[in-house]
Structure 1
Amino acid sequence: MDKIAFIQLSLAMIIVGTIGFFSRLSGLPSMELVFIRCVSAALFLAAYWFFSGRYKKEKWGKREVPIIVLGGVLLVLNWILFFASFEHTAITIVISIYNLAPIIVLVISWIFLKAPIQGLGLLSVILAFIGSLFTSGLTLETMHRGQSFIGPLDAAVAAFFYAFVILTGKKIRRASPYAVTLIQTLTGVVMLFPFVDYSLYTQLTLSEWFYSIVTGVVHTGIVYLLFYGGIRRLKVTTVSALTYLDPLVAILIDILISGFIPSRLQIFGIVVIFVALSYTLFNHQSKQAAKTARPHSKY
């Protein structure tokens, strides 16, 4: 095993696991936070892409550019809903539901891509659905008390958008991961520019500016460099296993620092989702990895 690649990917997943915590400290609503993330990530990746000389080796396919831009639109919508979900519910719940994206990819593959349905795959989908219901913490009693379902719903729709980001990524064969990410973050800047409330930025403290910019430079720029630097030199099973570090770190931070205490049913739901993900991450990914052009970082 390539130890450096193992450390790179492990570090990337650990950093990603802190993004929910950082987003809450940014002091920004989801759209304004995503805009700052896109701007800072684009500047960082453009500088790296240029000064590293990678732009000289870039190979472009005219047919790929619209697909990359479409992926960028889906990615930005995914980010907006992902961060919005943190405003309404606990990080642990958001992360658990959001990680249903690989299972959504599996379902889409069955329905639209005519992929063969396997017994274990169908069981994983059923388990994931049941787990997400328990994890959301919503029951008839809590809904009667007026508990909001907006947070869990935002997380679920964000997972849906991310599933389509994965599928569009499979169509990209020539452009480098750095070029793809740069184009997609620039797409986010153009897409959100007319809708952002710029007055909110004038109210930020220095610490809130720090946390906001970190979500772009570190959680997007540096994570992508570590992520793509690691996955190419590791086995798919190793990559799949290391992806569990992300939700694990997020849940630990939420419990130990944010003080979230999940109920027994929510703990059961989280465990059920992880069991369901085990199938998609270890079995489905191992079969499809060779066909996947360039996988995206989840966040």
Structure 2
Amino acid sequence: MNRAAFIKLTIAMAIFGSIGYFSRLSGLPSLELVFVRCVSATVFLTLYWLISGKFKQEHFPKKEYTAIVLGGVFLVLNWIFFFASFEKTAITIAVSIYNLAPIIVLVIGWLFFKDRVKLVGVLALFLAFVGTVLISGIRPSQLPGSGSLTGPIYALIAASLYALVILTGKYIQHASPYLVTIIQTFIGVFMLLPFVHYQLYADLSASNWFYSILTGVVHTGIVYLLFYGSLRDLSTPVISALTYVDPLVAILTDVLLIGFFPSLLQTAGILMIFASLSYTFFVQRDSATT
């Protein structure tokens, strides 16, 4: 195993796990924060792409543009709902539900790509569903008209959109990760231009601006460089295992810095989701060895 690639991916996942905490420090609603993130990441990645000379090695496959653009739309919408979920529920709850994305990918594969359905997969899906219900903290008496469902629902929508990002990414084989990310964040800038409430930026403090730009440069730009710079040197099972660093850091951040403590039922739900996600690890491990 490539130790440098292992360290890069671990750092990338750990940094991304802290994004919920820093998004709250930005003082911005989800849409305005995603806009700053797209602008910051586009500028940072474009400068790196040009200064490093990687643009000289670039291929521009026209057949992949549709997948890149569609993936960009899904990615930006995913970010909006993901950050919106932080505004409505605890980071631990939002991140745990968000990490159902690999399970959703499996379901889409079963329904639309005629992948083989396994009993263990169905059980993992059921476990994930029960875990999601428990972690939401919703009681039956709270369901009618309850606003407390909003955060978990936003997180689930974000997970579904991220699953679509993963699936569209499978059709991108030749364009470099740098070019793909630059195009997709650039799409985000133009997607959000008409909808951003620009007056909200006037009320930001220097600290708010720092954390807002940080989520773009560090949690998008640097994380993508570390992430894509390590994938080709690691096996699929190792990559799958290291993705667990993200939710673990998010939960620790929520508990240690924000003071959120899940109830016993929510803790059981978190464990159920992690157990169901483990199924994707074994699926990918088996596919990598066959």
Aligned to 2:59, what secondary structure does the other structure show? Answer: coil
Q: Give the aligned partner of residue 256 of structure 2.
A: 256
Q: Hey, what's the Cα distance between the residues in 1 that align with 2:196 and 2:287?
A: 38
Shift of 1:71: 0.5
Contact 1:5 1:233 (C-alpha < 8 Å) held by counterparts: yes
> Could you tell me which amino acid in structure 2 is paired with residue 71 of structure 1?
G
1:22 matched to 2:14: no
Q: Give the aligned partner of residue 268 of structure 2.
A: 268
Structure 1 segment 191-230 matched on structure 2, within 5 A: 191-230=191-230
Deviations 1:32-77 (A, max 9, x none): 0000000000000000111111111111111211210110001000
1:148 matched to 2:134: no
Structure 2: 5+ residue stretches without partners: none
Contact 1:39 1:185 (C-alpha < 8 Å) held by counterparts: yes
Q: Hey, what's the Cα distance between the residues in 2 that align with 1:288 and 1:51?
A: 38
Q: Hey, what's the Cα distance between the residues in 1 that align with 2:145 and 2:116?
A: 43
Shift of 1:289: 6.5
1:8 matched to 2:16: no
Q: Give the aligned partner of residue 293 of structure 1.
A: none
Aligned to 2:4, what secondary structure does the other structure show? Answer: helix
Q: Give the aligned partner of residue 294 of structure 1.
A: none
Q: Hey, what's the Cα distance between the residues in 2 that align with 1:3 and 1:240?
A: 16
Q: Hey, what's the Cα distance between the residues in 1 that align with 2:230 and 2:74?
A: 25
TM-score (norm 1): 0.94
Q: 1:70 to 1:145 in 2, by over 3 A?
A: closer
1:96 matched to 2:135: no
Shift of 1:146: 4.1
Deviations 1:146-173 (A, max 9, x none): 4521000000011011111100000011
Q: Hey, what's the Cα distance between the residues in 2 that align with 1:109 and 1:185?
A: 27
> Could you tell me which amino acid in structure 2 is paired with residue 121 of structure 1?
G
Q: By percentage of residues, which structure has more helix?
A: 2
Q: Give the aligned partner of residue 283 of structure 1.
A: 282
Deviations 1:90-119 (A, max 9, x none): 000000000000000000000000001012
Contact 1:138 1:147 (C-alpha < 8 Å) held by counterparts: no
Deviations 1:219-256 (A, max 9, x none): 00000111111221122221111111110000011011
Q: Hey, what's the Cα distance between the residues in 1 that align with 2:251 and 2:115?
A: 33
TM-score (norm 2): 0.97
Q: Give the aligned partner of residue 172 of structure 1.
A: 172
Q: Hey, what's the Cα distance between the residues in 1 that align with 2:143 and 2:18?
A: 30
RMSD over aligned CA atoms reads 1.4
Aligned to 1:234, what secondary structure does the other structure show? Answer: coil
> Could you tell me which amino acid in structure 2 is paired with residue 274 of structure 1?
F
Q: Hey, what's the Cα distance between the residues in 2 that align with 1:231 and 1:168?
A: 17
Shift of 1:123: 1.1
Aligned to 1:148, what secondary structure does the other structure show? Answer: helix
Worse-matched range after superposition: 250-259 or 140-149: 140-149
Q: Hey, what's the Cα distance between the residues in 1 that align with 2:192 and 2:215?
A: 17
Q: Hey, what's the Cα distance between the residues in 2 that align with 1:176 and 1:192?
A: 25
Aligned to 2:234, what secondary structure does the other structure show? Answer: coil
Shift of 1:11: 0.6
Q: Hey, what's the Cα distance between the residues in 2 that align with 1:144 and 1:166?
A: 34
> Could you tell me which amino acid in structure 1 is paired with residue 150 of structure 2?
I
Structure 1 segment 8-87 matched on structure 2, within 5 A: 8-87=8-87
Q: Hey, what's the Cα distance between the residues in 2 that align with 1:35 and 1:289?
A: 37
Contact 1:131 1:268 (C-alpha < 8 Å) held by counterparts: yes
Contact 1:69 1:187 (C-alpha < 8 Å) held by counterparts: yes
Q: Give the aligned partner of residue 235 of structure 1.
A: 235
Shift of 1:283: 2.3
Q: Hey, what's the Cα distance between the residues in 2 that align with 1:263 and 1:29?
A: 27
Percent of matched pairs sharing the same residue: 61
Q: Hey, what's the Cα distance between the residues in 1 that align with 2:273 and 2:49?
A: 37
Worse-matched range after superposition: 135-144 or 64-73: 135-144
Structure 1: 5+ residue stretches without partners: 291-299
